[in-house]
Amino acid sequence: MNQKTLEWIGDENGHVEMIDQTRLPGEYLIIKIETPTDMWHAIKQLKVRGAPAIGVAAAYGICLGLKQVEDNTPLNDALKSIAETKDYLATSRPTAVNLFWALNRMHRICQDNFPDTKSLKNRLLAEANLIRQQDADMCRSIGKHGADIIQKNDNILTHCNAGGLATAEYGTALALMFSAHEQGKSFHVYVDETRPLLQGARLTAWELQQAGIKATLICDNMAGHLMSLGKVDRIITGADRIAANGDAANKIGTYSLAVLAKAHNIPFYIAAPSSTFDLSIPSGKEIPIEIRDPKEITSPWDNTIAPEGISAYNPAFDVTPHEYIRAIITETGIIQSPNQASVKNHLATSAT
Ligand code: MRU
């Protein structure tokens, strides 16, 4: 994919361009995001989505807020405006920790000394660009570390979209596949369509097809059947937030896959950058789960498929306890059998 998922165009008075992921695969539309409000809606409506990508989006959202602040504004007023933009963007989606991680990282920069508002603006745009570039680099490293997990002629199952579209570039779960494919390995991927918003059918199927990787689309409720027939060798997904003990939130349906995988003795892997870990919470129980509009279930894409007035419940994520996870692949290596000690040890060692 040549076009970046999202990128900043121009100087500190510039704007963001992103692929509108709600239009794929039918239409490849690049949209312009000019204000924090535009960015909030783009995140909320999943025009930009996937944990690492919304982290980058939030960082750029801060720069869009500053664009509205004149260069000669007193520094304290500029800082106040940044704090407001940060609080506002933090209300867009609750589960992926990368969003809060990026906002906090931008906020920490504000604690440095700046001679004036103009230099603060420059510095924050440089930081947001760095967050984007580092995410792209981390994804390549995840691919390198995890490619060996994929064996020749494997049948892999994945859920939702953890590809280039969900990150700055290259993806997390799909990074393993892209990397193994680049090494010339032949394998095949079952793609869960991922109800209700079909990130698997619309985005993962599209990305794998573009890369020339063999893929077969299935409905979510077919995965257990395929496992029982011995047709799945391993499952690889991304994550939106990983607690200190290795419990991992990911797209709704991931937990069911992990339990089924355990029942069929199929290894279940998660691929995620260090920005997806939230060591401030001891377990997955503390991960806030986004509840979305029931209409996404009853009337997807304005097509009513359920009786008027029926109640519907739409949690967007679930939590897979660490006991179900064979390993987590990060940009610095692999955490085997993740638990509180192995997660802490891995992140501490890789941070030094
Ligand atoms: O609601 P979404 O599409 O933002 O959900 C995305 C996922 O669940 C991904 O699997 C996760 O963010 C990992 S992306 C590298």
User: Does ligand 1 come within 6 angstroms of the Cβ of 51?
Assistant: yes
For 204-260, the pLDDT digits (tens) are 999 999 999 999 999 999 999 999 999 999 999 999 999 999 999 999 999 999 999
Same domain, 218 and 334: yes
User: Could you give the CA distance from residue 240 to residue 99 in angstroms, rounded to a whole number?
Assistant: 10
Same domain, 120 and 168: no
pLDDT > 60? residue 352:
no
Same domain, 159 and 126: no
**What pLDDT, on a 0 to 100 scale, did the predictor assign at position 350?**
81
Q: Percent of the chain having pLDDT more than 70?
A: 99
pLDDT > 70? residue 95:
yes
Same domain, 334 and 186: yes
Q: Which residues are CB-contacts of 154 (< 8 A; sequence separation ≥ 6)?
A: 187, 188, 233, 234
For 118-164, the pLDDT digits (tens) are 999 999 999 999 999 999 999 999 999 999 999 999 999 999 999 99
Q: Name the residue with the closest Cα to ligand 1, atom 8.
A: 251
Same domain, 327 and 292: yes
User: Does ligand 1 come within 6 angstroms of the Cβ of 50?
Assistant: yes
User: Does ligand 1 come within 6 angstroms of the Cβ of 250?
Assistant: yes
- Structural domain includes residue 31: yes
CB 236 within 8 A of CB 192: no
Same domain, 260 and 312: yes
Same domain, 165 and 217: yes
- Looking at the 3D structure of the chain, how many domains does it have? 2
For 265-278, the pLDDT digits (tens) are 999 999 999 999 99
Question: Whose CA is closest to 264, among 221, 223, 225, 227?
Answer: 227
For 320-330, the pLDDT digits (tens) are 999 999 999 99
What's the domain range around 267?
147-351
How much distance in Å is there from the Cα of 241 to the middle of ligand 1? 10
Q: Which of 220, 240, 247, 318 is catalytic?
A: 240
Q: Name the residue with the closest Cα to ligand 1, atom 6.
A: 50
* Residue 11 is a catalytic residue: no
Q: Which residues are CB-contacts of 326 (< 8 A; sequence separation ≥ 6)?
A: 267, 268, 269, 336, 337
User: Does ligand 1 come within 6 angstroms of the Cβ of 172?
Assistant: yes
For the record, the structure tokens of 107 come out as 């906020």
Same domain, 107 and 170: no
Question: Whose CA is closest to 98, among 205, 238, 296, 255?
Answer: 238
For 11-26, the pLDDT digits (tens) are 999 999 999 999 999 9
Same domain, 195 and 292: yes
CA distances from 183 to 148, 151, 179 (A): 10, 11, 6
Q: Which atom of ligand 1 is nearest to the CA of 317?
A: 8
For 290-333, the pLDDT digits (tens) are 999 999 999 999 999 999 999 999 999 999 999 999 999 999 99
Ligand 1 mutation target, pool 6, 46, 139, 160, most atoms within 8 A of CB = 160
**What pLDDT, on a 0 to 100 scale, did the predictor assign at position 2?**
57
Element (H, E) at 134: helix 117-146
> Using alpha carbons only, what angle is made at residue 106 by residues 104 and 111, rounded to the nearest 5 degrees?
90
